[in-house]
A and B are shown apart, each in its own frame.
Chain A
């Protein structure tokens, strides 16, 4: 029997497929563009800079960026992830500075096969998925399992803290770090730091109360995990109450306008150190590379002379580096003959496989990454971590508000 419509139908399907093929691949950015604008913008800048270097394409496939603001709201983040999940051209999501969305949604991410690249969020469990057989989350940032030891070591060994305290945001990120920090203190000393937690939306009254308690407790060092706004509030409140322990802050405060809301005199009084990866150090070593990247990144920003000029520098550096790795992995995945016919789920899977088995080194700002990720297993808990404890440094605020290497650290790599 002759089917006269079959030919037309086949032609339609081919045309449709071609049109789909013509669609650019998308890279979502799920970040808090409302409250952590600097961090989000820095990440986006890093991503776009990396993409720009490769002409916004991979092996002839154009790639576009779609940033979506989750406003620090876990549920908004989930909505973004769901949007990504249903987008037939979206390969991966670049995460923001906030860890809670990914801690909360980790299980769903891994179950749904959503490819997640985290340039800044630091909660340790995110990239470790005990409940899931597959792990779809890759990180190029500080891992709190490493940062906790870094903080404890620095407090004890560098600053000789005698009465440490922990000031932690009451989120999943804070709670994970609390456990890790206490564990590390317990491992390295007999000190049991006193712990204060505060809600993410802590108000002035609560901040005053906590500051009062800290003052009354007489802490000489305070390891603080906070966002820029609540960190700013707490620091100012402590300063107001003449409570001025040395503050070793996680980099959460660098995601916003901390340097603007907390005056330099306060920053100096509180002797604030901010956990960083060692970009600033790397800048000193990889001068050419960094300058080239900064030139590219600063085209629309009026130009950057140094990394310190880049707001939320950490996000920019990490986002640039992980985007570079993603592009390399995508390019590697595209080499597969099945790529063209694969659906988005298969493509994500292919990219994920390429990430875990990257064949070529990737030249980033922080370093040159040689197979940064490996297939995850409980035995290789750091398989999806591109950085390690050796990659951690601290920074301090300059009078102009830029993060700079502490005076004592300049010219030397951490641990060196």
Chain B
């Protein structure tokens, strides 16, 4: 459990934590010294919060002392008052003795309930309890006594609490298990027979069924806290799914799930008979779970068994499909969430069977006269939920969670569809790169119309009348594309940022697989950037989803690149350059055209004019992008060490020409930035040039070395730039000199002497060390002296 201390307040009005000590004075989070002292104070106070403590007239120590005194004196009214006061504080293991004593001496229900509450609270320390101690022995004695008590409440609370708080011990386990087994065994017996016997069930009560189900419930709670997967309880727990107490049935299903994780086939065989809509179960043991959480748990169980290799998996899968028609959104949406874990190909073929209301059909299912495909059923369900809850006339207190989850489901389902439908490379099974279009040449004619409330209601009516409209749609089209307009409307009508984020994520995955048809989405995302009220983290979430989308469908890269430019251009203060660089790295791997487009985008960003208000923030963005350019320039331009002049080409070293035009243009820009900009940018550009030089051919190195040696050095901030420049020049100098020496040695003789090899190896490691300062991670095969040195370095190793 959590530590016994806690802070005092959620936050100050400006977002910084404000802690309020016991004396009520307010302290800002910025004062570390004060914070530490308050933290110490909090640890001592043991109160739920310092703010709360400031409102109380008691302290933890005073309450503890009073309780001790009252317990010693057996003063029941004072014990009750002290226990009440103790609820404001976090109790520790030292209270065990007092609490056990209180339960022993007290007979008042309100006092007992509080004592059991605190016992439950200290169960987090149960590993520290000594199993042979007097308190634990007393606790078990009380448990045994309470199980014979005529009051059902005392049996229930004692069973639930003792199973939670008693330390793990063979004897204690056996004791509690015996009681649980006894109760569950008797529950299975005939009511009339049981009534005549002495035992766990009190004879005074008129409602034996109720008492049974309550004890069953208590047993299941105890099992959840102590005896998960106990083999001896397997059948009673499975039978508990039929428990008349809805909460008991729910706990039983949870326990059954734990068994299913270990033994799917046994559980599958034993629970198939409970499936509510299975024809073979009708009128027999099919369960009618009234509790929505129990139904959710049953779907979770079915999801596990449907994915397992068991003969009944098909029936369990069908149960989840049927549960989409549950009239409770919390259950229906949970079924959809469970289905998302299955491959799209399976979902596409699945159906929802007709649901006709009769005496055997649980009343929590919506009637479905005709069979429909699962995808249509899901789509209809989500559409109805969104249409109803986005309309201002029919919203409920739960509308926000429903819209939120509906948008999330559309995103997840569309993602599953997109990943399945997008063409893959036959050999690698990776998504194909596809034909990239020039976005500027695509007309932006498509517009989206956000439906009015009346239109939404009409759509809802149409949906109910024509439930199977999916079959008419083209199979190439995203089956959830009909939800686009409603989801887009969430962007404008919802004040909730979280809903807007989910709606945007859904739209990212609703983008068609064809770039031509994505213009509308591109415009929507761009317009969003123009709205000043959206917070920065909303854009981060949006672009994170685009990052995932571009991995799944590389063909959308031009759109994503264009939107990356828009993000930086329109709202630079809300940009996350790390995320942009990550996305660009992914796109770079899509081939030559991708590299060209990335480079073009980077140049476009670097060359754009910046609004004066954004100068400072733009400087930071440019710094990050220049660093990124330095990191990836060699990958983008195919410049590598393999372009080293070979030993035989004696004229190579004399050539200072850079034939790689792309690299040339990168270097030119970086050189420009290294001279005419604020010192921070100049420093970053010099570093980037250095990184390019280290990874490039000799001619590039010489060019950069010459540039850095002759760079103007009079301007403001030069001292900072100078240190980096001289460091890079020094390394380049060593690289060029030592490589020349090595090549000369190699030219005179095909093999090096042992001394020469040793020197080469030392120089190699020395330079690697110096160069690695500039890289997050150098490639393992990086050879500063070129590929010719590989043989000799390996020999030395």
> Do these two chains interact?
no
